[in-house]
Chains A and B, each alone.
Chain A
Amino acid sequence: MALLQIAEPGLSPLPHQHRNAIGIDLGTTNSLVATVKSGSVSVLPDSTGHCLLPSVVRYLDSQGAVDVGHTAQYEQNSDPSNTIVSVKRMMGRGLGDIDAIGALPYRFVDAPGMAQLVTRAGTKSPVEISAEILRALKLRAEASLTGDIVGAVITVPAYFDDAQRQATKDAAQLAGLNVLRLLNEPTAAAIAYGLDNGSEGIYVVYDLGGGTFDVSVLKLSRGVFEVMATSGDSALGGDDFDHRIYCWALEQASLSGLNPSDSRRLLSCARNCKELLSEQLETRLTALLSDGQTVDLNLTQSDFRAISHTLVTKTLLPVKKALRDAGISVSEVKGVVMVGGATRMPQIQQVVAEYFGQAPLNNLDPDTVVAQGAAIQANMLAGNKQGDDWLLLDVIPLSLGLETMGGLTEKIIPRNSTIPVARAQEFTTFKDGQTAMTIHVLQGERELVSDCRSLARFVLRGIPPMVAGAARIRVTFQVDADGLLSVAAQEQTSGVTASIEVKPSYGLNDNDISRMLSDSLTHVRNDIDARKLREAEVGAISLMDTAQTAIARDGELLDPAEREQIELALANTRAAISSQNTRQINEAVSHLNHITEPFAERRMNKNIQRALRGQNIGEL
């Protein structure tokens, strides 16, 4: 209940003390970590000076030892089934959802909600594999920063659905990171770009990454970044262009049924060719296959344009949808910010320039801009005071709804609603004496349940038997600032409730997470108990400090009885700290939090009124 911060948003309890926070761009092809040091953003390099960490994880032995990054990448052709690339495409996805799965050199097993991979270290979920990448970046950050890292902002494609977001958050938790916020990649880029250039007006961010495509329309005005609409394709990216060259090569060289190692080798060559063709008009694709056969082909930029034409055009559809949802015409767009390594392809630059009738903005490094934006937000969320005050208002990318009779979807929260958002709707029973109701939560735009993504299913039980149509079941959807959904259902006449954080759809539940977490912590020989106690203690002390400051500032909002209760809770917390018992401290903190909630609310309301008054005066 850091009450102090109500009066001075963004001010940490000890203003002079810098709190380390990092921004991580967890990309399909490459990942990066950045931080704000003495007021400026820096992307942190590894010990050899590389900023980009290839998002490649290689399992080395049955104990689960791993190589991450360049070293893993070097071995991807020789050890393809244990070297996982582009794991992001599998996050929160079932086997059937992964495009071009046949071309991937892995052994998949289907698991509830999310496919898993068989490696020499056992079966690994995409969450665990992503956690290895995040852990490597965390170690890199720890090596270059003094003091603890208080938290991280992790970026996700704006078009990621709830399952993909939740999987990303779980991976970060597994890597031992405190997630301050999940931030949409194009929004991160807009923050870095907008703050850098002091931009005002309507901007489009065109973000073509390794495996995902996002487009966001933002209104930038007076330090507020308002996302008006977002659209995209979470299975379209630079990888697909590699795959087009790969298929072209198979056809040209009349090859079929390649083994995993050859398949991986040819894909790597294809990717090389793609990158070279951004700089030159033609290139050679040369690969030596394991049976001694040589593939040697000539690829020109115009051939590449021809074979990738449909992919390039495919990116314009989300662009049109986003503009339509934002109610904006092409002529109102002030600039188009290009993000993601794949926007270097000349055919992409050209199609964007033609569609918008203006040269796209390439003045920020498309590889690092997302990590930079994430670092800037992390710095703010960690409570470090910064020069400009700014605020981000983001949206949900896809509509959220429920299954109703006949396999139809009823939308509860429409796409592009500003978050946080909550919406409730009432439903009723369809049979006499019905005592339970299945709540099936869906995400997507289509009318049929089978065309939407199933996020969760839960059952509201204990409805008192009534005639059909008499029960009133109120279902409430709440989406938080990370874009994550929780759903609650309540039968209004009896008060029977059921709720769920939309989470276990893909088979990892809280117990799995904490088991993996403790496994990984034992792995680095961390003393969990001591750490938990220290965290509880630090949290309790900061909470007490801020409660006292809040009382000193706004004590008049409390009546004497309330004030006495808070004082009592404070004394209780103090006693708990001296007991050095983690559970006791946490209980005292939770009580203190609970009892000060109405106070916090009054203070926030007071601040809204103050802000509006200030604004009205400003207008006169």
Chain B
Amino acid sequence: MSTDFNQTHFALFGLTPCFRLDPATLDRAWRAAASEVHPDRYAQAGAAEQRVALMLSTRVNEAYRTLKAPLDRARYLLGLQGVDTGEETNTSMPTDFLMAQIEWREEIEDASAQHDAEALDQLASKLRHEISELQASLATALDDSGDLDLAAVLVRKLRFMEKLEQEIDNASEDALS
């Protein structure tokens, strides 16, 4: 395979690697790249080109998905700098963080058991607020201070928060139906 598959997601879109990525710029770059390689552009082409178009547009979509989601983007940036976030192995978290997690879970379970869509919405917005604070710290650690160890801790915390978000989502869906 050509070296282009080793190109970073940022380079693929002609972007400078950083956490504070302008979403509109990323969207534009994705659309421009996707326009070039989408299989629809090669519907009348031969099998080889269709295969390549499928491969490249899959690659472009994957790069976009990774860079678009803040947690994935942070993990990817750390990976580029050789830092493993150790989310599967490193489970030691600060006690106060773990206590807060237990509280979150109890609140979600209560609201979920009562099919209380409104309470779940409130929890979701409170969670979004905490997530954006963590993301702001992450931006500082990655783009300004270059404190990669701190960034890895923040990624692990955000991973927990994202799981909570998923739980609230599932509970809200049940409450809707």
Contact assessment for B14 and A380 in the assembled complex, using a CB-CB cutoff below 8 Å: no
A457 within 8 A of partner (CB): no
B169 shortest CB reach to chain A, Å: 8
Contact assessment for B54 and A420 in the assembled complex, using a CB-CB cutoff below 8 Å: yes
Give A612 to B10 CA distance when docked, in angstroms.
Answer: 12
If A2-B45, A590-B47, A598-B2 touch, whether A615 touches B61 (CB-CB below 8 Å) is: no
Q: Which B residues, 17 to 54, have Cβ-Cβ distances below 8 Å to chain A?
A: 28-29, 31-49, 51-54
Q: How many residues of A contact B (CB 8 A)?
A: 62
Taking CB atoms, residues of chain A closer than 8 Å to B43 are: 151, 180-181, 381-383
Assign chain B's interface to a size class: 35 or more
Q: Which A residues, 26 to 70, have Cβ-Cβ distances below 8 Å to chain B?
A: none
Give A418 to B61 CA distance when docked, in angstroms.
Answer: 7
Contact assessment for B54 and A381 in the assembled complex, using a CB-CB cutoff below 8 Å: no
Contact assessment for B48 and A600 in the assembled complex, using a CB-CB cutoff below 8 Å: yes
B133 within 8 A of partner (CB): no
A422 within 8 A of partner (CB): yes
Contact assessment for A421 and B62 in the assembled complex, using a CB-CB cutoff below 8 Å: yes
Give A539 to B177 CA distance when docked, in angstroms.
Answer: 52
Contact assessment for B47 and A1 in the assembled complex, using a CB-CB cutoff below 8 Å: yes
Binary contact readout A539-583 vs B (1 if CB under 8 angstroms, 0 otherwise): 100010010000000000000000000000000000000000000
Give A381 to B33 CA distance when docked, in angstroms.
Answer: 19
Q: Closest chain B residue to A3 by CB distance?
A: B49
B57 within 8 A of partner (CB): yes
Taking CB atoms, residues of chain A closer than 8 Å to B169 are: 324
If A418-B61, A480-B54 touch, whether A5 touches B29 (CB-CB below 8 Å) is: no
B109 shortest CB reach to chain A, Å: 16
Taking CB atoms, residues of chain B closer than 8 Å to A592 are: 46
Taking CB atoms, residues of chain B closer than 8 Å to A616 are: 14
A315 shortest CB reach to chain B, Å: 13
Contact assessment for A10 and B32 in the assembled complex, using a CB-CB cutoff below 8 Å: no
A594 within 8 A of partner (CB): yes
A78 within 8 A of partner (CB): no
A417 within 8 A of partner (CB): yes
Contact stretch, chosen from A92-100, A193-201, A601-609 = A601-609
Contact assessment for B41 and A612 in the assembled complex, using a CB-CB cutoff below 8 Å: no
Give A321 to B64 CA distance when docked, in angstroms.
Answer: 23
Beyond A5-B45, A381-B43, A602-B2, 14 additional pairs, beta carbon < 8 A: A5-B42, A10-B41, A224-B35, A377-B40, A381-B40, A393-B34, A417-B61, A420-B54, A481-B38, A481-B40, A596-B46, A597-B48, A608-B12, A612-B14
Give 23 pairs: A residue, B residue, CB < 8 Å, sorted on A. A2-B49, A3-B49, A6-B49, A9-B41, A9-B42, A10-B41, A151-B43, A180-B43, A226-B31, A381-B40, A393-B31, A393-B34, A420-B58, A421-B58, A596-B46, A596-B48, A597-B48, A601-B2, A604-B36, A608-B32, A608-B37, A608-B56, A613-B14
In the A-B complex, the 4 residue pairs with the smallest Cβ-Cβ separation, listed nearest first, are A1-B46, A381-B43, A2-B45, A593-B48
Give the interface of A toward B (CB within 8 A).
1-3, 5-6, 9-10, 12, 151, 180-181, 222, 224, 226, 317, 320-321, 324, 377, 380-383, 391-393, 417-423, 478, 480-481, 539, 543, 546, 589-590, 592-594, 596-598, 600-602, 604-605, 607-609, 611-616, 619
